[in-house]
Structure 1
Amino acid sequence: MLALTEHLGQKVLDAAGHKRGRVVELLVDMSDPSARILRVGVGNRSIQGRHTVATWIDWTDIASFESTSVQCRPEARFVEVEKGTRVLDPADNFLWLNRDVLDTQIINPEGGHIVRVGEIALVRVGEDLQVIAIEFGAGPVARRLGLAWLGERLETTSIDWHDLHLVSGRGLTAQLATNSDRYRSLSAAELAKMVAQISPGRGTQLLAALGAHQAAEVLAVSHPDLNAGLVHDLPHHLASEIISEMHSDDAVATLRRQHSGHIEALLANLATDRARELRALLAHPPTSAGGLMTIEIAVANAEEPLADICERLRMDPTKLHRFGGVVRVSDDRTPVGFLSLTALVAQSEDPLLSPYEIVRADTAVEDVISLFATHDIFAAVVVDETGRCIGGINIDDVLEELVAEQRPGRRKFKDLVDRHSLGGRRARASARHP
């Protein structure tokens, strides 16, 4: 196995033995499964000017590639790079290993944290030179400092080239252009952690490549503060598509952090019913039950047989999944009962299986949290001033409110507001109430 940094700076000799410069770059095509080196960038410096490529030659023009020197074939053609151009970039799918990968940021698949590439491993396969892995940790750093004996003792972690997730500069652009499925295969939680650690510009680039549905899933598990910045920076049409795919309460939490003009621009691109729904939720103060509730709840007429309700939900369980129960309402939408998941599974209307409370939309969030804690309920039905059912709050909404600080993307110690918890201890304020 060869190490990239051991070959950077090596002399490049033509067929007559004349020095033409030093190795400063190697070019790889990200769409090539074999990750073969295609070109060698030649310059005059390898440290301060490591990205300055004066000329380049095709790999097929290389006769030998050793740690002492690089020998070119007699027919080798040195192509000059236009003066003032740091590196000749053939297309988005090509990367120069020294500039675009070495010392740049990647995602460590173990834990999802950002780490920095310390070395790039190469291997000779026949006449080809191929990239096989990258390394990070203290070991590669020590070896590059000339402390090989120490590098052998320090931790070195390798990631296969095909498992690499680049998040810096052209690296991310190249991977999205050639294999965006590499990112789409990650879970929403993994992507949220990634987006929270990279620059906003790269975050919006990644969300755009994922598509509206998966981007909405990522934002659903990210902090609203982070979401607001990303949505603000996205093109209006794409941001609106993502907002349309988000659950109503997540969409509202994101929209609340936009200025009024931007909110209207985003809502204008939505379907009329969806825009009306979000405007109605935005009308409730964020510190109220109305600001916490979801309107995506399952309802049933007071007289509808339980068996019919279960069959209907079996055909379309989406609203049941979001709220975790069914609200029985009268003809004027006054709540008259509640069926929990336990009751639905048991097909029983025993009220002991479905404890719930009714709260007005203007009830303070602190009071809602106290209600859940002191009454051992899993759901609360939210009504307007006339007593009509307009939404619901379940235990997940309350927990989300309490642990919002831990979501990916939270800027620590920003906009903290004191709140007294039930036991008298002080807790961080929710992200919904900056």
Structure 2
Amino acid sequence: MAAGAPRIFVSHLSGVAVFDPAGDQVGRVRDLVVMLRVGQRPPRLLGLVVELATRRRIFLPMTRVTAIQSGQIITTGVLNVRRFEQRPTERLVFGELLDRRVTLTETGEEVSVLDLSVHQLPARREWEIDRVFVRKGRKGSAFRRAKGEALTVEWTAVTGFSLEEQAQGAESLLATFEQLRPADLANVLHHLSSKRRAEVAAALDDDRLADVLEELPEDDQIEILGKLKEERAADVLEAMDPDDAADLLGELPTDDQERLLRLMQPGDAADMRRLMSYEERTAGGLMTTEPIVLRPDATVADALARVRNADLSPALAAQVYVCRPPDETPTGKYLGTVHFQRLLREPPPSLVSSILDSDLQPLDPEADLPAIAGFFATYDMVAAPVVDEAGALLGAVTVDDVLDHMLPEDWRETEFHLDEEVPTDGS
């Protein structure tokens, strides 16, 4: 649903069909999964519980929902078909929140929850519950329907849903630090006890845990991954950037590597094996296998649409790579790079093949760290293509991966602080 679209009441989503981009039905919505937050902050909608034709129920993250319209839900087509398991910080909307007795803040009157509405936050990919449809009066029974005024109120107008400040376990901790960047949350986890770190990691959703793992020291990564169930560990590795996941896998015993690789999707496992075949401090070992790749007949508008993907890091979004088919790494012949600033200066219908930067030499997969750092410094780049002897694009190295390997090993444990007073007059 686009930003600014009308809110959707959850009762209208019950049993709604879910389709992939090709128009094939993959299942139906059976529930919604939310994460409650401390105080009166509206809950975040994490995803949907979808029942497949096989009766198996799976979790569909909202980040993989592209549209909710005309009584149907469209997905990106990427589904994890492992059985849904509710986590400690999660609540089921139909199963736990509807028909609940809550209290109107203003009057102290108890009311029954009949429905909830969700909406997508402007300019963000997150969804929240924003309003509650309630009925006043005593709760009804199986033989007598409750009577009383029905009204819709803001989430903040009721109490009885949200986590209490004194709640124990991982729930309050996660709710308190929900707005932290992954690097800052990683710093929090690093200073927790091993037991507490495992509890928090178990309660994080896969994407959030993947982001945090990428920012943790190696020892913490291995410890946390080792305490997850193997199927979930494989899911989290799939959600990580391929180069970071390959580095983490490379630190595990060979038997553990193989077990996890067998549990991963074949395409992701193939990427991991390819990355692990290179020395760690080379372009091949540092690169991600998921840069933006376009065919020569793609337009500037196509390129800008790909760059807008909120899941891309700023470095990966800084440029697109134009290659002949296939357009997934390893690609067909690499033709050149188009930088983001150049895209902004060209008419949307222009072909990317007409504005290529083909003079800049790509990196060889065996290039070592000093050579890569010199390349970035010489050409003021934030990302660079990695191309093999046959001319196929293998991936891209980003400046953050170079810095990770050039800084001291314990740099993540060092606390960096901005000056308390920042001049505002240009001095």
TM superposition score normalised by structure 2:
0.50
Contact 1:357 1:377 in 2 (8 A): no
Contact 2:230 2:260 in 1 (8 A): yes
- What is aligned with 1:233? 227
Contact 2:315 2:399 in 1 (8 A): no
Q: Is the alpha carbon distance of 1:175 and 1:184 closer, same or farther for their aligned partners in structure 2, counting shifts above 3 Å?
A: farther
CA deviation string 1:228-286 (max 9, x = no partner): 22212322122222112111111112111111111111122211211111111111111
| Counterpart selection for 1:357 from 357, 361, 364 | 361
| Paired residues for 1:151-170 under 5 Å | none
Asked whether 1:369 is paired with 2:363, we answer no
- What is aligned with 2:260? 266
Question: Matched residues in 1 for 2:241 and 2:341: separation?
Answer: 24
Contact 1:302 1:329 in 2 (8 A): yes
Question: Matched residues in 1 for 2:358 and 2:255: separation?
Answer: 43
Alignment length (residue pairs): 245
Q: Residue 212 of structure 1: CA displacement?
A: 1.4
Any idea what SS the aligned residue of 1:357 has? coil
Q: Residue 296 of structure 1: CA displacement?
A: 0.8
| Paired residues for 1:82-231 under 5 Å | 174-176=168-170, 180-231=174-225
Contact 1:225 1:257 in 2 (8 A): no
Q: Is the alpha carbon distance of 1:352 and 1:373 closer, same or farther for their aligned partners in structure 2, counting shifts above 3 Å?
A: farther
- What is aligned with 2:390? 386
Contact 2:321 2:337 in 1 (8 A): yes
Question: Matched residues in 1 for 2:194 and 2:169: separation?
Answer: 18
Q: Is the alpha carbon distance of 1:191 and 1:210 closer, same or farther for their aligned partners in structure 2, counting shifts above 3 Å?
A: same
Q: Residue 184 of structure 1: CA displacement?
A: 3.7
Q: Is the alpha carbon distance of 1:409 and 1:256 closer, same or farther for their aligned partners in structure 2, counting shifts above 3 Å?
A: farther
Gaps of 5+ in 2: 1-36, 40-87, 89-163, 326-330, 415-427
Asked whether 1:292 is paired with 2:296, we answer no
Question: Matched residues in 2 for 1:237 and 1:352: separation?
Answer: 43
Gaps of 5+ in 1: 1-30, 34-91, 93-161, 165-170, 411-434
- What is aligned with 2:406? 402
- What is aligned with 2:346? 347
Kindly indicate which of the two structures has a greater share of residues assigned to helix.
1
CA deviation string 1:93-142 (max 9, x = no partner): xxxxxxxxxxxxxxxxxxxxxxxxxxxxxxxxxxxxxxxxxxxxxxxxxx
**Match of 1:218, as an amino acid?**
V
Q: Residue 385 of structure 1: CA displacement?
A: 3.1
Contact 2:338 2:356 in 1 (8 A): no
Question: Matched residues in 2 for 1:253 and 1:217: separation?
Answer: 14
CA deviation string 1:25-70 (max 9, x = no partner): xxxxxx999xxxxxxxxxxxxxxxxxxxxxxxxxxxxxxxxxxxxx
Any idea what SS the aligned residue of 1:359 has? coil
TM superposition score normalised by structure 1:
0.49
- What is aligned with 1:282? 276
Contact 1:248 1:294 in 2 (8 A): yes
Question: Matched residues in 1 for 2:232 and 2:409: separation?
Answer: 27
Q: Is the alpha carbon distance of 1:409 and 1:255 closer, same or farther for their aligned partners in structure 2, counting shifts above 3 Å?
A: farther
Q: Residue 313 of structure 1: CA displacement?
A: 4.5
Asked whether 1:335 is paired with 2:334, we answer yes
Contact 1:225 1:409 in 2 (8 A): no
Any idea what SS the aligned residue of 1:181 has? helix
Of all paired residues, the percent bearing the same amino acid is: 25
Question: Matched residues in 2 for 1:369 and 1:383: separation?
Answer: 17
After superposing the two structures, state which structure 1 stretch, 368-377 or 300-309, moved more: 300-309
Q: Residue 293 of structure 1: CA displacement?
A: 0.5
Q: Is the alpha carbon distance of 1:369 and 1:240 closer, same or farther for their aligned partners in structure 2, counting shifts above 3 Å?
A: same
Q: Cα RMSD over matched residues? A: 3.5
